[in-house]
Amino acid sequence: MAEATPAGSPPPVPAPSPAAAAAAPIAPPPEPVRRKIKEVEAMVADAIAETDDTTTLVLFTGNDTLEYKPGHFLTIDPHQFAALDRWLRFLEDQKGKRESPRAYSLASAPHEKYLAITVKEEYYVSGQTKYPPLLSPTLVKRTPRGTKMTITGFTGAYFLPPDIESHTDHLVHICAGSGMVPNWSIIKHAFATGLKLRHTVIYSNKTWDDIIYRRDLDDLQRKYPEQLRVVHTLTRDSVGIRASQGVRHGRISLELLKEVVPDPSAVRVYTCGPAIGVWDRQAAKAKGEQPAPRFLEAVLGCLEQLGVQKQQIRHESYG
Ligand SMILES: Cc1cc2nc3c(=O)[nH]c(=O)nc-3n(C[C@H](O)[C@H](O)[C@H](O)COP(=O)(O)OP(=O)(O)OC[C@H]3O[C@@H](n4cnc5c(N)ncnc54)[C@H](O)[C@@H]3O)c2cc1C
């Protein structure tokens, strides 16, 4: 991703006034942690083509401070786009239910001035896909600068906790396709805030041209050669001359993980990508079969064999 979200200073945290502190000799009980999900009006400030089918939308939301953690996602309700009206009515008739908001991980990090999401277009494959995808083609190809939209956020269990350094000094990111988005936020945040962490990124894509944030990852790796290692693995492209740069061919395997994660008991893993979804389950059931494991199930299986414990792993499914 080109420098989509210029870094801004973190907002100052207001300190309690001395008068208020003096008037309250007994400390009040700690405030319950409130979820701050809210609707926010946003305007597309930039639309950056990352690859042929993936666009980063940089969102201007005014000057309010928006609180989120690296790895969180927002949601976008497709009903707000007039151009989708016919599609919505047709799909809702066919499916017999209202279309729900779609989730998008934040590509931006909390220290950055603008929000950003990176959306990969889903395709309709004749004879294979039951319905055409609804929202992603519009966000990727038909949401120019100046488009206004309502976003809702921010939430999710896939985030970098503030005390991460007390658990590990080595984060392993295992991602496929747009599953890189929340990890990109986590990585940027970790470097921008000076966290003492090493990062190993194992990133699976079909082809070299499908890799999202490729140049940004390269730049960051050059800047922090001791702290960031990126291993690309391509399932469709032959690797050719790129093998000498460490690019691999094939899916993420136990062998690859053994090689690049020599310290499995010490790491924390963030893995994100396609997983068995509700439609896969339905299709498999109709055939009397079990759904075939997808990226996430395969990675979790390898991690188990590697001896990484469940509590060391956070995972998020886009399936
Ligand atoms: C937490 C989270 C974070 C995410 N973050 C990102 C992100 O950062 N970037 C990103 O690109 N995506 C992300 N996603 C995925 C995103 O939410 C959407 O699922 C994706 O953009 C596709 O939406 P769509 O409206 O284009 O397609 P949909 O209309 O949702 O269709 C998707 C697929 O499901 C099939 N389908 C739909 N309904 C049925 C049905 N009834 N029966 C059978 N098949 C059906 C369609 O044919 C199509 O292939 C995230 C998902 C989650 C859960």
Is 209 domain-assigned?
Answer: yes
Query: Which candidate, 110, 137, 155, 152, places its Cα nearest to that of 316?
Result: 155
Instruction: Write down the pTM of the prediction.
Output: 0.89
User: Is the pLDDT at 93 greater than 50, yes or no?
Assistant: yes
Mean pLDDT value of segment 176-187: 98
Tokens 């990109």 -> residue: 184
Are 292 and 221 members of one domain? yes
State pLDDT tens for residues 53-84.
999 999 999 977 789 999 999 999 999 999 99
State pLDDT tens for residues 298-315.
999 999 999 999 999 999
Containing structural domain, residue 111: 36-155
User: Is the pLDDT at 294 greater than 80, yes or no?
Assistant: yes
Atom of ligand 1 nearest to the CA of 117: 8
Average pLDDT, the chain: 90
Atom of ligand 1 nearest to the CA of 120: 11
Are 210 and 283 members of one domain? yes
Are 143 and 197 members of one domain? no
Task: Compute the distance from residue 198 Cα to the ligand 1 centre, in Å.
Answer: 32
Mean pLDDT value of segment 186-211: 98
> What confidence category does residue 241 fall into, taking pLDDT thresholds of 50, 70 and 90?
confident
Are 240 and 96 members of one domain? no
Cβ distance 187 to 228 under 8 Å? yes
Task: Compute the distance from residue 270 Cα to the ligand 1 centre, in Å.
Answer: 21
State pLDDT tens for residues 135-167.
999 999 999 999 999 999 999 999 999 999 999
Atom of ligand 1 nearest to the CA of 156: 1
Q: What per-residue confidence (pLDDT) applies to 34?
A: 52
Cβ(181) – ligand 1 distance below 6 Å: yes
Is 10 domain-assigned?
Answer: no
Task: Compute the distance from residue 71 Cα to the ligand 1 centre, in Å.
Answer: 18
Q: What per-residue confidence (pLDDT) applies to 35?
A: 53
Are 189 and 261 members of one domain? yes
Q: What per-residue confidence (pLDDT) applies to 318?
A: 83
Q: What per-residue confidence (pLDDT) applies to 244?
A: 84
Cβ(108) – ligand 1 distance below 6 Å: no
Q: What per-residue confidence (pLDDT) applies to 6?
A: 32
Cβ(101) – ligand 1 distance below 6 Å: no
Task: Compute the distance from residue 49 Cα to the ligand 1 centre, in Å.
Answer: 19
Count of domains forming the chain: 2
- Cα–Cα distance between 189 and 71 in angstroms, integer? 10
State pLDDT tens for residues 247-289.
999 999 999 999 999 999 999 999 999 999 998 999 899 999 9
Are 66 and 186 members of one domain? no
Task: Compute the distance from residue 169 Cα to the ligand 1 centre, in Å.
Answer: 34
Cβ(68) – ligand 1 distance below 6 Å: no
CATH code: domain of residue 307: 3.40.50.80
Considering 110, 135, 155, which residue would you say is the last residue of a domain? 155
Is 28 domain-assigned?
Answer: no
Are 200 and 123 members of one domain? no
Q: What per-residue confidence (pLDDT) applies to 160?
A: 97
Are 102 and 198 members of one domain? no
Question: What proportion of the chain, given as a percentage, has pLDDT over 70?
Answer: 88
> What confidence category does residue 171 fall into, taking pLDDT thresholds of 50, 70 and 90?
very high
Are 187 and 298 members of one domain? yes
Considering 155, 189, 212, which residue would you say is the last residue of a domain? 155
Are 144 and 175 members of one domain? no
Cβ(136) – ligand 1 distance below 6 Å: yes
State pLDDT tens for residues 3-33.
333 333 333 333 333 333 333 344 444 554 4
Is 128 domain-assigned?
Answer: yes
Cβ(309) – ligand 1 distance below 6 Å: no
Question: What proportion of the chain, given as a percentage, has pLDDT over 90?
Answer: 81
Q: What per-residue confidence (pLDDT) applies to 64?
A: 77
Are 106 and 124 members of one domain? yes
Is 13 domain-assigned?
Answer: no
Is 97 domain-assigned?
Answer: yes
Cβ(118) – ligand 1 distance below 6 Å: yes
Is 26 domain-assigned?
Answer: no
Are 219 and 147 members of one domain? no
Task: Compute the distance from residue 76 Cα to the ligand 1 centre, in Å.
Answer: 12
CATH code: domain of residue 146: 2.40.30.10
Considering 155, 176, 191, which residue would you say is the last residue of a domain? 155
Is 111 domain-assigned?
Answer: yes
